[in-house]
Structure 1
Amino acid sequence: MMDRRTLLKRSLALAAFYGLPAAPLLAATRDMPEIADGEPSEFSFEWLQRLAKEMANSSYQNNVRELPSTLANMTPQDYNAIGYDPGHSLWHGLDGELDVQFFHVGMGFNQPVRMYALDPDSHQAREIHFDPEIFRYDDADVDVAQLEGEDTLGFAGFRVFKAPSLTERDIVSFLGASYFRAVDDTYQYGISARGLAVNTFAESEDEEFPTYTRFWLETPEPDSTTFTAYALLDSPKVAGAYRFVIHCEAERVVMEIDKHLYPREAIEQLGIAPMTSMFSCGTHQRRMCDTIHPQIHDSDRLTMWRGNGEWVCRPLNNPPKLQYNSFADDAPKGFGLLQTERDFDAYEDVIGNYHERPSLWVEPRNDWGKGEIQMMEIPTTGETMDNVVAFWKPSKAVEPGDSLNFTYRLYWSAQAPVTTDLARIRATRSGMGDFTEGWAPGEHYPEEWARRFAVDYVGGDILRIAKNGPPIMAQLDVSRGKTSDIQIFQVEEFEGIRVIFDWYPTEDSVDPIDMRMVLEGDGDALSETWLYQYFPPPPEQREHPPHPLDA
């Protein structure tokens, strides 16, 4: 076991190597938390950037370690049963608005993360070493004797609590690789973010999962709901220095992120501001909704505010096979995976609480240049697997020796922080086509197989325009097949309009059909752009159910 004297010698040597002045041994720190038992060392974000850059110039050192058997062989139930002693929370002594607890290593969380408490006045940091005394194992099957003397185990991550629920419900969580999540005022987790995506669906290389290996948590003012965290990211292909300024507001969490990336190797696919979510079924895709729940999803759409000012809505799918899409852009204004349906009746789920899942919106704060928003949708048979991934991929090739900087904000809230003044997509629906609306399944039963789509629009004064003019035209394009019977209805119930059309196949292919629609009046755009991808069934399944009277 490494003693404190050895640890101090190594920290002094590291400081000298990276050009930092060694912290005086007796330097005072203000309000340093009691559990921060390491020796003091100087810290700055500039130093962290130099450290990451130097690491990128050296070979990758994997710090995954073999855990004691009592931790390595844990069941998820036992892992979740490990408690935390609130008296050892990081900012417990502040009696303030925020506090932090740490996640235990165990199961697949076998890459120790080192934690440091950071004093913002003296710029000194002290490491927080693993100690079984800060955890509670009463309800977990853990042999605590195996953990004695294991102060180098580190932690798996951390989570943040906000008053008045300083020990009950966390609002921010960093756990596993570079994954993190946050909630809004519902305290309901859902969508996840990552610090970086590397070759998530690259053609020639396997995906890599960069990991946050160290965190420095800056002590906030007692009455503040904002705190700053710094992180060191590492992987075989890239190292990075991160600063998170996290605002735990009343109705949402806002993160200001400044990240500096230093590639060790060329990277085929670099994903900036990646997010992962789940879409099993919804209003437009019902094949996986054979449950008591009308809809099951953490997010229902990808929304993009393009650099040219265009707003785009792309409803999510649970495709029959893995599907990849990219949307080229230059200096995007924002994008996100949103959960726009907020009514309990839409889900009827008393466990998942999908109506309370937060949306996640990315707001670039510096010029991201040319690139594309990339999205992958993976088939899933249930609601326990995140099957949607989206991020920004720069066009410029990523080479070793590069220095990349991206700053952006993440908004975790019920709705995106910005919206268009044009009409917005309320919902997308689909079902049996080739009949007069209002007559199925009576005498006017469909004769030809077709798929009907209904797209609802609200906002942007669209209902007034529908009543008073100019005439609304639906500009619809499809990549294959033909469309007919485009109809526009005024719907007082949701104060908007509904556009209905039928799509008919003209070939046997089951490749996805790309659809694009925008509402126009006198040549001006009245709505955001609707993009949709439909997966036609094979020819042998292109038959409507028989008429009930003929069955």
Structure 2
Amino acid sequence: MTISNCTQQKAIAPEFWERRQFLTAAAASFASALAPAHLWAQEEEAPTFSFDMLTERMKDLAGHPYAAPEPVHGFLADLDYDAYQRIRFRPEQARWQEKGVTFRLHAFHPGWLFKEPVKINEVVGTSVHPMAFTTADFEYDDEELAQSIPPDAEMPGVAGFRLHAPLNRADIFDELIVFQGASYFRALGKGNSYGLSARGLAVNTGLPEGEEFPRFSEVWLHRPQPGEETVTVFAALDSPSVTGAYQFDITPGATTTVDVTARLFLRKDIKQLGIAPLTSMFLFNGADAGPFDDYRPAVHDSEALVLNTQAGETYFRHLNNPPRLASSYFGALSPRSFGLVQRNRDFEHYLDAQAHYERRPSLMIEPLGDWGKGAVRLVEIPSDLEVNDNIVAFWIPDQDTNAGDALEYTYRMHWGMSPQGAAPERLANVTRMRTGEGGVAGVQTDTGTRKFVIDFAGGLLDHLPENAQLEAVTSASNGEIVEAVLSPVNGRNEWRLVLEVRAEPDAIVELKAGISGYERTLSETWMYQWINA
């Protein structure tokens, strides 16, 4: 069970297509690749648009049976990985190139894995105007393929879109945010390269009955005016179990923020509804390289899940590439924030001159309003390839989610190198973790234990003498902490906690540790799930 990162994973080409047959058929079949009707297709004139109007339409749609989207056909349906990768949007065709407009819009070509076209609309004032894209908007690097395609044929929709803005330099329009595939999207802060993704909604993720993937079926973009620093995107979400109306207010910056309003209408009972889901990749790091014989010391888009509670506690849960499907739950009452973070920004930590994992963004979710009681669920999926997204995290409300329910959630997403909430300032942070065979290093022993070494730095620890009387606060669920030793690291403003842990074979052990002293908490709480496989 692996969630694919569609922008990287290679697909198998259809074997029944010979190349010349494919190219010959392309021109003849393109005209038959008709667009599915969008939500206002039945109107004689384009109506005015508002988020409330979209909400009412999605509420009404939830009262009707789900209608699966009509996929593209003709040559669009038969594009393989290689052909699709040679199709590019022409930058000179970008929408919104008027002077003073801060954003540019590019589209993604339909086909390959993206066989369900998405309708794109522009909202000017309150009026809706469909945005048409044609083959003239795209560059076909394969000459034979390019010659076989009508020169200005209208697309039945697109696979998604991306927005560009002057993120790193005032004179360059950098990629800012991408929406492509189901309800997936990902954004960048200043200095970032693409890493983890977000989704509009998660339905029954990691459950035995199988996951459902709602999709954004139609999108409305509010045309930005010169000088505006925020762009607004509206989206219709649809699936067999739920419909939804979404609003995204996107503001680029050193930390890019996306304010999200999600209004959901349930067609069916849903066993597990995942709010603000995040998807990332973790293969290995210095804590435990596992079976990977790799020159790189770490390969991951995110290294930890962070949860900040209303009580001022911060939980830092190191990620893992487990031997089997694993899951952890972190209960909270309307948390201040949670997310997946990439704290280590040193090239030497990764040594990857192409992927540059040190540039991958952290993403923190800040609930707006009272989310009530619930839990953050972390799902970790075994993976042997770095092109697979194998980490999922989302909020599960502590309430039944039944057919006919109407729910609304608002939250702010922080994408960047060090977004708000990714690391507490007043508490010491976990700087590294290592694991290994228990016992005394360099001595052959058979203690039956596993050693965990956690280093803390920052906060008040930077100002305490080495003889300070501090206490390690530790716990182990389904295992035993045989020994816990806390001591300063000579010559560094760091304190090291060493745990020796024992557990039964195949036990799933939840570990927790932190530092306290002077009648106060001095560090964030380190957490880890150890499977004694």
TM over 0.5: yes
Q: Distance in 1 between matches of 2:491 and 2:179?
A: 42
1:521 paired residue number? 517
From 81, 84, 93, the counterpart of 2:86: 81
Give how far 1:279 is off.
Answer: 0.7
1:60 corresponding residue in structure 2: 66
Q: Which sits farther off after the overlay, 509-518 or 45-54?
A: 509-518
Report the CA distance between 1:262 and its aligned residue: 0.7
Task: Pick one of 143, 167, 175 that aligns with 1:170.
Answer: 175
- What code does the residue aligned with 1:521 have? G
1:306 aligns with 2:309: yes
The answer to whether the Cα contact below 8 Å between 2:234 and 2:245 also exists between their aligned partners in 1 is yes
What's the counterpart of residue 528 of structure 2?
A: 532
Q: Which has the larger radius of gyration?
A: 1
In structure 2, distance between residues paired with 1:140 and 1:295 = 40
| Cα shift at 1:221 | 2.4
**Equivalent residue for 1:541?**
none
Aligned partner (choices 363, 372, 375) of residue 360 of structure 1: 363
Task: Count residues with an aligned counterpart.
Answer: 496
Q: Which residue of 1 aligns with 2:24?
A: none
Aligned to 2:14: none
Aligned equivalents of 2:148, 2:294: Cα separation in 1: 46
Q: Tell which deviates more after alignment, 477-486 or 299-308.
A: 477-486
CA-to-partner distance for each residue in 1:12-32, whole Å, 9 max, x for gaps? Answer: 8548xxxxxx6xxxxxxxxxx
Question: 2:56: which partner in 1?
Answer: 50
Shift of 1:150: 5.8
Cα distance, 1:306 vs. partner? Answer: 2.0
Q: Deviations over 1:59-117 (max 9, x none)?
A: 1121131422x322223232122122223211123453210100110112011110111
Structure 1, unpaired ranges of 5+: 16-21, 23-39, 538-551
Looking at structure 2, the residues matched to 48 and 372 of structure 1 have their Cα atoms a distance apart, in angstroms, of: 30
In structure 2, distance between residues paired with 1:11 and 1:300: 44
Letter matched to residue 377 of structure 1: E
Change (3 A) 1:211 1:371: same
Query: 1:78, 1:140 within 8 Å by CA — same for their partners in 2?
Result: no
Local SS of the residue matching 1:467: coil
Q: Distance in 1 between matches of 2:95 and 2:198?
A: 24
Q: Greater shift after overlay, 478-487 or 426-435?
A: 478-487
What one-letter code is carried by the residue in structure 2 that aligns with 1:242? Y
Separation in structure 2 between the aligned mates of residue 142 and residue 234 of structure 1, nearest angstrom: 34
Residue number in structure 2 paired with 1:456? 455
Whether contact under 8 Å (2:104, 2:173) holds in the other structure is no
**1: CA distance, partners of 2:464 / 2:70:** 61
Q: Distance in 2 between matches of 1:142 and 1:211?
A: 30
Structure 1 residues 496-534: Cα deviation after superposition (integer angstroms, max 9, x where no partner): 2111122234x3x21221111121214432221121111
Q: Deviation per CA, 1:382-402, whole angstroms, max 9, x where unpaired?
A: 211000000001111111221
Instruction: Give the distance between the partners of 2:171 and 2:224, measured in 1 at CA.
Output: 15
State the partner residue of 2:114.
109
Matched, 1:511 2:507: yes
**Paired residue type of 2:97:** H
Which of 501, 505, 508 in structure 1 is aligned with 2:499? 501
The answer as to 2:246 corresponding to 1:242 is yes
CA contact (8 A) 2:196 2:279 kept: yes
Q: Is the 8 A contact 2:136 2:152 kept in 1?
A: no
Taking structure 1 as reference, are residues 532 and 303 closer, same or farther at Cα in structure 2, changes over 3 Å only?
same
Q: Which residue of 1 aligns with 2:133?
A: 130
Provide the secondary structure at the position in 1 that maps to 2:52. Answer: helix
What is the alpha-carbon distance in structure 2 between the residues aligned to residue 148 and residue 50 of structure 1? Answer: 39
CA separation in 2, counterparts of 1:410 and 1:144? 44
Give the structure, 1 or 2, with the largest relative contact order (CA under 8 Å, sep 6 or more): 2
Instruction: Tell me the equivalent position of 2:218.
Output: 214
Q: Which residue of 2 aligns with 1:491?
A: 489
Deviation at 1:348, TM superposition (A): 0.6
Gap regions ≥5 residues in structure 2: 1-30
Cα distance change, pair 424–106 in 1 and its aligned pair in 2 (3 A): same
Question: 1:466 touches 1:490 (CA, 8 Å); kept in 2?
Answer: no
CA distance in structure 1 between the partners assigned to 2:109 and 2:41 by the alignment: 28
Deviation at 1:242, TM superposition (A): 0.7
Higher mean alpha-carbon deviation, 382-391 vs 458-467, is at 458-467
The amino acid that maps onto 2:71 is R
* Cα deviation 1:414-438 (Å, max 9, x = unaligned): 1231343222211211112211xxx
Offset of residue 143 of structure 1: 5.8
- CA displacement at 1:372 relative to structure 2: 0.9
Q: Which amino acid aligns with 1:189?
A: Y
Higher mean alpha-carbon deviation, 151-160 vs 492-501, is at 492-501
Residues 181-206 of structure 1: CA distance to partner in whole angstroms, max 9, x if unpaired? 01122240000000001111234x32
Aligned to 1:98: 103
Q: How does 1:223-302 map to 2 (within 5 A)?
A: 223-249=227-253, 251-302=254-305
- Residues 431 and 141 of structure 1: CA distance in aligned 2, closer, same or farther (over 3 Å): farther
- Aligned-residue identity in percent: 33
**Offset of 1:144 from its aligned partner?**
6.4
Q: Tell me by how many angstroms 1:129 deviates.
A: 2.0
Aligned to 1:33: none
Contact 1:466-1:472 within 8 A present in 2 as well: no
Contact 1:161–1:170 (CA<8 Å) still a contact in 2?
Answer: yes
Q: Residues of 2 paired with 1:218 and 1:94: CA distance?
A: 17
Structure 1 residues 261 and 480: CA distance shift in structure 2, 3 A: closer
